[in-house]
């Protein structure tokens, strides 16, 4: 019988309200999608275990509410995060435009409380736009500017890109911390 090494990682998921943070986590951890929007109050936790090679990865996703009412709690929510997912909406409306502009604000807040941790950008709600019309250069520029690990085009509704996007950040953490523990 093989002894499995265990790793535990807290991954913070941030971004403007209604961009799909909670829906993305539910799609990845439970394979479900709820079409009705339910505002996150404070923070929600989702646990998920994954096996990679000879290791068990224990994940806790912290889904942080975007509302300003919870600004005073954010320093506590960010504490001990090992990685972060910033979510924006690809919708061609005010929500989409604002959420893209606010990526830098979310990133600056993250850096303030967590320092230099791995960040992946999820550009969500691709099911609501014409994918061929996406300005990939604009997305790539913000990724390059802030030295994110990368970006993923996702849809919590259809599942497009969700598994690959979450696995990218999980694998990054696993291989980084596996090397440190060797």
Beta bridge partners of 85: 13, 120
| Contact residues for 64 (Cβ-Cβ < 8 A; gap 6+) | 12, 13, 14, 21, 40, 43, 70, 74, 77, 78
- What string of pLDDT tens digits covers the 182 residues of the chain? 457 899 999 999 999 999 999 999 999 999 998 776 666 665 688 999 999 999 999 999 998 777 666 677 788 889 999 999 999 999 999 999 999 999 999 999 999 999 999 999 999 999 999 999 999 999 999 999 999 999 999 999 999 999 999 999 999 999 999 888 87
> What is d(CA 152, CA 167) in angstroms, rounded to the nearest whole number?
11
Rounded to an integer, what distance in angstroms lies between the CA atom of residue 182 and that of residue 177? 9
What count of Cα atoms within 13 Å lies in the side-chain half-sphere of residue 49? 6
Among the listed residues 120, 103, 105, 108, the one whose alpha carbon sits nearest the alpha carbon of residue 12: 120
> The tokens of 106 are what?
């979310």
The neighbour count for residue 128, using CB atoms within 10 Å, is: 14
pTM of the model: 0.93
Residue-wise DSSP of 43-81: EEEEEEEEEETTEEEEEEEEEE--SGGGGGGHHHHHTT-
Which CATH architecture group holds 5-181?
Answer: 3-Layer(aba) Sandwich (3.40)
């Amino acid at each position: 019988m093989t002894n499995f090494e265990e790793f535990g990682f807290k991954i913070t998921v941030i971004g403007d309200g209604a961009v799909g943070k909670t829906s993305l986590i539910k799609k990845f951890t439970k394979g479900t999608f709820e079409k009705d929007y339910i505002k996150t109050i404070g923070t929600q936790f989702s646990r998920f275990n994954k096996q990679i090679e000879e290791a068990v990865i224990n994940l806790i996703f912290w889904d942080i509410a975007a509302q300003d009412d919870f600004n005073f709690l954010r320093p506590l929510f960010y504490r001990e995060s090992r990685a972060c997912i910033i979510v924006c909406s690809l919708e061609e409306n005010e929500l989409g435009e604002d959420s893209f502009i606010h990526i830098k604000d979310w990133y600056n807040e993250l850096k303030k409380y967590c320092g230099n941790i791995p960040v992946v950008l999820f550009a969500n709600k691709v099911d609501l736009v014409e994918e061929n019309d996406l300005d990939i250069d604009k997305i790539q520029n913000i990724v390059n500017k802030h030295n994110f690990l990368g970006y993923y085009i996702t849809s919590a509704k259809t599942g497009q890109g969700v598994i690959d996007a979450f696995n990218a950040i999980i694998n990054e953490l696993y291989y980084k911390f596996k090397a440190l523990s060797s």
